[in-house]
Structure 1
């Protein structure tokens, strides 16, 4: 199962296409049971989103395409982007609090956040070449 959204090929970059996405969200926002995320995203960000996607089928500029991502990739990315830094921050704050009260909690929270950020960067580098987490163009 894959999630996807529609976009237009805006430019070509060697083996890649730069896709300007039509709207925010997973593409199911307006369906029954969808999250309605496109409304919230358009409120927060008005700039068009552009993604660099492998282009093995040699799509041309102006062509409308569907960009898909494997079903687990979105949840996996969200877990790393939100849960990892937050969990590291909380663990750091708790550890610092046991060592040096309030000042230790603050220092531990900052240290935990930095560790969480480093973990996020490491996960991003590790998954950047994994085809399971890469978007693809589908007809």
Structure 2
């Protein structure tokens, strides 16, 4: 389970808007001499908005400190479906287009096949985003600041 400390910014009905209070990740040597500053790349286009909505199962109030809990596999699964699927289908589409081209205009056919692969990946990712089962595997949950994140297996 991946955990991050957060503070509740506001609460409405069964949703809590939380702000991550500490940046997590890397080896912790970002600003030290010899550090690679790898976590700085996340702010290349400006600081990200770290306030987002989470299902409120704890009955929190504004100002409460909580722990955000994300299943270990969730970030990798999301990245593989978002980016990996697009790359694989683009390459397969380009290869198929190249094969169908025969003797002429192989580059044009490969480009059209690659675009078709990307379009298919886009449609599949949009479909997955609407799937309750898929979203359930990527859910962020909350625990009390002093409590532990409960392990959920999918």
The TM-score by the shorter chain falls in which range?
Answer: 0.7 to 0.9
Gaps of 5+ in 1: none
Q: Is 1:119 paired with 2:124?
A: yes
| Aligned position for 2:42 | 41
Q: Is the 8 A contact 2:25 2:39 kept in 1?
A: no
- What are the superposed Cα offsets for residues 72-96 of structure 1, whole Å, 9 maximum, x if unpaired? 1111111111100111111111111
| Aligned position for 2:98 | 97
Gaps of 5+ in 2: 30-35, 145-154
Distance 1:36 1:17, change over 3 A: farther
How far off its partner does 1:137 sit?
0.7
| Aligned position for 2:63 | 62
Structure 1 segments of 4 or more deviating over 4 A? none
Task: Measure, in 1, the Cα distance between the counterparts of 2:15 and 2:46.
Answer: 25
Q: TM-score, normalised by structure 1?
A: 0.83
Task: Measure, in 2, the Cα distance between the counterparts of 1:53 and 1:79.
Answer: 23
How far off its partner does 1:98 sit?
1.3
How far off its partner does 1:64 sit?
2.1
| Aligned position for 1:11 | 10
Q: Is the 8 A contact 1:21 1:48 kept in 2?
A: no
In the alignment of these two chains, the number of paired residues is 132
- What are the superposed Cα offsets for residues 103-133 of structure 1, whole Å, 9 maximum, x if unpaired? 11111111100101111112222212x2x32
Identify, as 1 or 2, the structure richer in helix.
Answer: 1
Q: Is the 8 A contact 2:95 2:110 kept in 1?
A: yes
RMSD, matched Cα: 2.1
How far off its partner does 1:29 sit?
2.8
Q: How does 1:68-79 map to 2 (within 5 A)?
A: 68-79=69-80
| Aligned position for 2:26 | 29
